[in-house]
Structure 1
């Protein structure tokens, strides 16, 4: 990044402008000091909150003159400008603490377990950091020497181990310059890349001769959002090219707004594929091998990238982990020199050519790529990598969220956690004494909690499955779980060879649970207990309103654009996602005419639970009548698999001549592909599916592969204790309990399912909504305006 670029965000400097590159102390040291194996054997890692608290305890023990979180920075100017394109390297960071009385600069690290098990390359990185800070400190204050200290705080005992070294300023300056020299070639490359990237993006052109209807409006709104640094909620219908219509303006805005990184976040693999295809088109090609002036990286899950799932992730077990950091520089350079789009196959090819792990190469490349395509969890989850990199490197980022209507439920899932009583009881009988004792204590506390909850509910000890919301946070049990985390962490730190997969999984789940519990607030979450019998229960910390967790991530982005075909009502998404008050909402014009989609409402059918049995024959008759009137491929959606099976079985009995196929629970990827493969061009038959499932959104059956859809449900969530509690919470906080808990999520699924029918500007089809409630004014108000349902209620198209 050129120095001062953010002060003049509307201009681009010429080719001969001075090149300046900024780098954080940690990034500089990680780049120059890390060697050896990749080692992801279990080590007891403190949580972020534990680390902060540990730092605070160390600082509290120091004298009142102690300077904590000391900002330090310094320039490095290459010795001979003729030998380097770079004019200045700026190194910045915050030292943990400095005591001016003793002239001691400290780097504080928290740990659990045995300090002597800290990997050598990790210790070398810590020394590199504190010595770099020492050089910057001596520069600032004109010191001739300084005492450097690595302070390791054992969270289990609260004891400090201090390693010190008194070093003269000349030596530290020499090391600093040597480190910068090592980094210099990379910094030159990165500064030049940034300049060339920004110049190319200012000349970026749309890859087609014209925009689709609505696509230009979406692009303009996106560009304005980036220009004003605001969030945008864009409801844009299927078929206008939303992915291309948002990526194009966001890329154009990058040089103008001095944006460092653009994150394209999707809910499904299909969304990532569309984004990579659009980026290839913008680069002037049709596939990922095309050269681009910006670097694009696809991030994928670890289990999908691992080449040796049967091996542990360290140098003694996996050949791709051995010597990882020694071979990383060559692999990193080769990946970025390729200049194509680094999708999963490209990253894998480079990684295997250099005998290193593809997954961790991808994690490293995320530091150096301009556009990153991945799942929403990479930015919004509790331990989101892209969000952490944004904070650590002080990036200015813009974010695109595809199918954003799903972010509410995904956010709720990210900030919820569940523990199982049976697994706890099983582990306490098989673990060593140092672990089994705290597990047994928690088991007793858990049993007491279940007994208390049952008593409050008036339930007998032998009752069947029962659900109960806890009236207060189970603080005693939470303290016990924290002791369990410490005990297991200390044990595994002392005995890494005894790492049992089930014990590790329980540890990670418990750590996630207790960390979320630290942020518990009844305004956004609750504790609930479900039991199936004696000694068998699940304790859940359930998030109801993800806004409180998502809001800081949205605020950290320079601009976030959330787009989907279903983002109404806007207030629902503003409230549940925690969007800033100045968020803009737009509804993009549809490219379709009402005449293209024949929408009918069967007001004589009720799909309410009490009327399900009576609805089967009318639904079957409706399906058959439409099929015979216009033979083709159809999708029929139902609220549950039981309802689906009831109708499909009756349909087969009465109309065996009509081909049909059914979605089943827990279909794997191959089975889902086989289901969709039945929708051939010119084909005929009915596919039965559940609303909200794998085939209700994100499915692109173009042309005449799909003639229409039947929707036999409003998609309302079940009226169970969990959703009733959600309704109560949303009513208390937003005054919209029933709508937010039931109607909005349900009708969003309906519109998404109906959106499978019309995918292109020349297509036509039919949607039959089977329930009398679809004719209600409040329900019709949530349907796409271009359907013009109110005009059709008295027409011949409505049954």
Structure 2
């Protein structure tokens, strides 16, 4: 008899879900409220009340054994009868709640049946409690069921789930059989690939974390995915998350999975596309009055899901859109549903790390056998700081409230209440200043009260012309509440007072949060071509003494790459303007030595503009292309495509922008890059906060907050030039700071043959010799 493991919540939701996709914005908020509500009501019970009661029971039904597990909110005894307690948060009135929802009763019935069987009882009590988060009133519904009736209900649930369970078992069997023959998909390993794959394999087996620094061209994607898949085939791993910040890197990972699938391995892989991109409608409004794909969504989703799992292994955006249109369901929600039953999930960092996204549905259940692969891990510290920071701007509360004053007084007053609190706070702050303050204790409480009012209004006024603005404010308020609940010494609260007033919770050091998240899964692999210095990244990414770290050398011929450091010009902020003529001379000679495609990387857009204008005044026939700060994704792709189709392209770009990371220009599509400066950002308040925090922790605040992040931008930009074994190209680093030992000791192994010059003539001589 086949066996399948399933949680109470999953099986009941599948069996009884119906209705429209509506107010999906509530999911994250409800989860946060639900935790508080559970703790509050559980805390009111007596000593005999057993909260979060774990249950596991095997129920045979037809040809399948269902191993059902879950945690009932509570178990207690009343007048000799054992009760299962289920708690739900709501905004509904007792009249609207009525007799309760079947999904809620279904969960309670299943828990009751499991408890009854495990304890050989003849009947069970069920208590379903709805706690209204606006009125703070509790609606209590109770029933007592006998064994026969609970068994009948359980069989009804299992019958609804049976065909789906059978399909999942077939899918697992196909993967298990095909995975036995899973070999490295290419004829041979590149230099360093096998060693990397072995390191990843051993790390996962030992349930550890590893930091891998490996240059472009070694084949990191397959070297890291392959051992994880091998262990999945052996039953050691249940799910793989492949996280990356760039669309192009997601495509590379997905293509790698396509290669694996083409070899006959029946692994299910999904590429998650952002909601705004995959939505079929002009706006992402998830309710039936606007979107036909939201109407009766829950009645149609099981059929769409069955179709997907039965007929596909690779879920690209195109495949998901086709299935969604066929079944008339929301493509983004379908994506999330499919991800629950996928083996490999390829997505952005936020789907795993961001507390406000919370899309790891059911994540906690399989986390003990989940492996997380973090590509471009050098981007994660900044992204984590963003994800765990939040702010409020006073003017937004004023603007959203004004049009609501006459018709919706309650909503208007609740928003104005926050505005008044911020106004009172601003009166204590000097004009045109940024000031560190204690996090106001009353702010989160009043924000919760406001969001409860907004929640009710949003649900009843979906077609209102102000709905979007209120919804945006609602999200912003909940983001602030969510982050404030995590507030520790790793955070700082500050206010900015100028033309507007802003209060912000800033995450100075995300390492402890990342360490906590990483500890919740089986294993984490963090990798990048530029995890340099490795000690810095292990610290800021939450590494511990038990974690592994490995470096891998470049597989490319050293003679194909020329690195020059030009130390005769200062590009510190105060010296940049006076050195523009010298920079223009350098650029002119640099691109004249050998005709080809080049990128000149600048420390800022304003400096790029100044240099371009001066250069153009002397060389009117130039055809340089300038990166714009407001370029759309399609414009960036068109900008980059010129390098593949034309020769003699010279682009001016900003260090740290889209052109300095993530583009793959092979052959003679890009033969050289000049990088102006050492990448250090201008001194700013937030980086200074991180500097203080890192000084206390490691005694190297400036390096952690400014120097190392800036240096990483240089490494990324230089990495655009050599992408394959056949490529030949040069990089010139311009700044007198490159003569300093503290920078030179950071140079990777592939840079150890660099040449230092301090004048134009020597640069020309060195490059002319290289291009002979």
Shorter-chain TM-score above 0.5 = yes
**1:718 pairs with 2:702:** no
Q: Distance in 2 between matches of 1:770 and 1:351?
A: 52
**1:111 pairs with 2:53:** no
**Count of residue pairs brought into register by the alignment:** 757
- 1:691-735 C-alpha deviation (Å, 9 max, x unpaired): 000110000011100010000011101112222222112111222
User: Aligned to 2:129, which of 134, 138, 151?
Assistant: 151
**1:439 pairs with 2:415:** yes
Q: Equivalent residue for 2:72?
A: 95
Question: What TM-score, normalized to structure 1?
Answer: 0.90
Distance change >3 Å, CA 489–CA 310, structure 1 → 2? closer
Distance change >3 Å, CA 648–CA 496, structure 1 → 2? closer
**1:661 pairs with 2:592:** no
User: Aligned to 1:201, which of 150, 164, 179?
Assistant: 179
Q: 1:400 Cα deviation (Å)?
A: 0.9
Distance change >3 Å, CA 504–CA 709, structure 1 → 2? same
Distance change >3 Å, CA 514–CA 119, structure 1 → 2? farther
Deviates more, 1:22-31 or 1:350-359: 350-359
- 1:678-700 C-alpha deviation (Å, 9 max, x unpaired): 21356003100000001100000
Distance change >3 Å, CA 391–CA 187, structure 1 → 2? same
Q: Equivalent residue for 2:266?
A: 293
- 1:268-289 C-alpha deviation (Å, 9 max, x unpaired): 111110011111112236xxxx
> How is 1:649-798 mapped onto 2 (pairs within 5 angstroms)?
649-680=613-644, 683-789=647-753
* 3-state secondary structure, aligned to 1:624: helix
Q: Distance in 2 between matches of 1:603 and 1:45?
A: 52
User: Are the counterparts in 2 of residues 550 and 578 from structure 1 also a CA contact under 8 Å?
Assistant: yes
Distance change >3 Å, CA 270–CA 496, structure 1 → 2? closer
Distance change >3 Å, CA 346–CA 126, structure 1 → 2? same
Q: Distance in 2 between matches of 1:639 and 1:100?
A: 69
Distance change >3 Å, CA 394–CA 24, structure 1 → 2? farther
User: Are the counterparts in 1 of residues 565 and 755 from structure 2 also a CA contact under 8 Å?
Assistant: no
User: Are the counterparts in 1 of residues 28 and 358 from structure 2 also a CA contact under 8 Å?
Assistant: no
> How is 1:609-688 mapped onto 2 (pairs within 5 angstroms)?
609-680=573-644, 683-688=647-652
* 3-state secondary structure, aligned to 1:213: coil
Distance change >3 Å, CA 294–CA 639, structure 1 → 2? same
**1:605 pairs with 2:566:** no
User: Are the counterparts in 1 of residues 437 and 495 from structure 2 also a CA contact under 8 Å?
Assistant: no
Deviates more, 1:49-58 or 1:348-357: 49-58
Distance change >3 Å, CA 493–CA 327, structure 1 → 2? closer
Distance change >3 Å, CA 44–CA 628, structure 1 → 2? closer
Q: Equivalent residue for 2:424?
A: 448
Q: Distance in 2 between matches of 1:755 and 1:248?
A: 25
- 1:113-162 C-alpha deviation (Å, 9 max, x unpaired): 54555699x92211111111111111112222122121011223322101
Q: 1:109 Cα deviation (Å)?
A: 0.7
Deviates more, 1:365-374 or 1:470-479: 470-479
Distance change >3 Å, CA 564–CA 119, structure 1 → 2? farther
Q: 1:781 Cα deviation (Å)?
A: 1.8
User: Are the counterparts in 2 of residues 66 and 99 from structure 1 also a CA contact under 8 Å?
Assistant: yes
Distance change >3 Å, CA 657–CA 210, structure 1 → 2? farther
Question: What TM-score, normalized to structure 2?
Answer: 0.93
Q: Distance in 2 between matches of 1:306 and 1:681?
A: 32
Q: Equivalent residue for 1:57?
A: 40
User: Are the counterparts in 2 of residues 113 and 494 from structure 1 also a CA contact under 8 Å?
Assistant: no
Q: Distance in 2 between matches of 1:386 and 1:550?
A: 17
* 3-state secondary structure, aligned to 1:719: coil
Q: Distance in 1 between matches of 2:191 and 2:96?
A: 62
Q: Distance in 1 between matches of 2:139 and 2:28?
A: 17
User: Are the counterparts in 2 of residues 152 and 161 from structure 1 also a CA contact under 8 Å?
Assistant: yes
User: Aligned to 1:73, which of 47, 56, 64?
Assistant: 56
**1:594 pairs with 2:577:** no
Q: Distance in 1 between matches of 2:78 and 2:565?
A: 81
Q: 1:362 Cα deviation (Å)?
A: 0.9
- 1:469-520 C-alpha deviation (Å, 9 max, x unpaired): 3232122434433332233234445666657221121111011101211111
- 1:635-675 C-alpha deviation (Å, 9 max, x unpaired): 00011101001112222233334431000111012221221
Deviates more, 1:480-489 or 1:509-518: 480-489
User: Are the counterparts in 2 of residues 658 and 685 from structure 1 also a CA contact under 8 Å?
Assistant: no
- 1:161-195 C-alpha deviation (Å, 9 max, x unpaired): 01122211111011112322332232233233223
Q: Distance in 1 between matches of 2:128 and 2:553?
A: 60
Q: 1:108 Cα deviation (Å)?
A: 0.5
Q: Distance in 1 between matches of 2:440 and 2:136?
A: 26
Q: Distance in 1 between matches of 2:704 and 2:28?
A: 39
Q: 1:579 Cα deviation (Å)?
A: 2.5
Q: 1:76 Cα deviation (Å)?
A: 1.7
Which stretches in structure 2 are left out of the alignment for 5+ residues? 768-772
